[in-house]
Amino acid sequence: MSATGSFPAVLCLHGFLGSSRDWSDLIARLPDRRFVLPDLPGHGAAVGLAPEEYTMEGAAQRILDALDGAGAGRCLAVGYSMGGRLALYLALRHPERLAGVLLESASPGLRSEGERAARQRSDGALASRLEGGGAEDFAAFLREWHRQPLFASLADHAGLVERLVRERRENDPQELARSLRGMGTGSQPSLWSELPDLRVPALAVVGERDEKFAGIAHEMSRRTGKVRVAVVREAGHNVHLEQPREFAKLLKRFAGEV
Ligand SMILES: C=C(O[C@H]1C=C[C@H](C(=O)CCC(=O)O)[C@@H](C(=O)O)[C@@H]1O)C(=O)O
């Protein structure tokens, strides 16, 4: 799905449990930009795929196909959380396709094989719950998910958690489990060692209340000297939902620099 416009396209990649609809506010704030808004494997309409399409490489190939289908050529990629991990993967493995990359609350994966194995086990348990539970348990899963410390700041915005739970219930838990197993934080290849080879302009956007991912962003910046960091006040992990005007302003400014 893409909007009209003559500027380089903006590719927006949503997070785990989300869908391409997550970007509706951002699109409204940037009416002169053209957007490419794919659903990521296991989310929205991107379901019933071949097993390999649920991996990071498979998802990347689907994105490249979507860009080709939209005639988008080189674009500016914006990725939130899981979508940010995919955007960074694209920037490192397919740099010729990106004019720049905005990483919102994202990571390059986990550094060690031990960390990856432990995360695969915990993500595997989450996936098993998604696969084995019914509709009511999926609703409970979503409520518990948003009670994690990482998302505590969502409660400062009236009705936001309820809206996310309602919208995210439209996803298929069986498909979300496939996404988690295929391209979860523990399943994706670690990109830490590749960061020094980053050739695409990069801006990491994080919320001041998201200590974990603010730390990851500053570590990426320290390790490469190629990732600029923008910390957004009064925001947590989901910056584009909690501070939409500031997020759009950062994107406009970054788009003008790349
Ligand atoms: C809870 C952790 O990791 C998860 C948190 C965020 C990522 C995401 O895309 C969630 C988006 C949302 O719920 O708004 C997710 C991912 O990258 O796949 C992570 O599993 C954590 O503490 O690292």
Q: For ligand 1, which residues put their CB under 6 angstroms from it?
A: 15-17, 81-82, 85, 148, 150, 184-185, 238
In a domain, 88, yes or no: yes
Token look-up 């990106």 returns: 98
Token readout for 107 is 């990571």
- Domain of 43, CATH number, reads 3.40.50.1820
Q: Using a cut of 0.90, tell me whether the model's pTM lies above it.
A: yes
* Calpha distance 213→201 (Å, rounded): 19
Q: Which of 185, 216, 240, 241 to mutate to test the pocket of ligand 1 (most atoms within 8 A of CB)?
A: 185
Q: Are 79 and 45 in contact (CB under 8 A)?
A: no
10-13 vs 202-207, strand pairing mode: unpaired
CA nearest ligand 1 atom 3, residue = 185
Task: Please name which of 141, 119, 121 lies closest in space to residue 130, comparing C-alpha atoms.
Answer: 141
Instruction: Report yes or no on 3 lying in a domain.
Output: no
Residue nearest to atom 5 of ligand 1 (CA): 81
Position 7 scores a pLDDT of: 64
What domain range includes position 18? 10-256
Mean pLDDT by 10 residues, the chain (258 residues): 60 98 97 96 98 98 96 95 98 97 98 97 98 92 97 95 96 98 98 96 98 98 94 98 98 92
Please report, in angstroms and rounded to a whole number, the separation of the first and last CA atoms in the chain.
Answer: 24
How far does residue 86's CA lie from ligand 1's centre (Å)?
13
Q: How far apart are CA 92 and CA 197, in angstroms?
A: 7
Residue 4 within any structural domain of the chain? no
Q: Does residue 93 form part of some domain? A: yes
Q: Report if residue 98 sits inside a domain.
A: yes
Residue nearest to atom 10 of ligand 1 (CA): 16
pLDDT at residue 8, as a whole number: 81
148 part of a folded domain: yes
Is residue 5 included in any domain, yes or no?
no
pLDDT of 85 reads 98
Looking at the DSSP assignment, which residues form a beta bridge with residue 232? 207
The total number of structural domains that make up the chain: 1
40 is a domain residue? yes
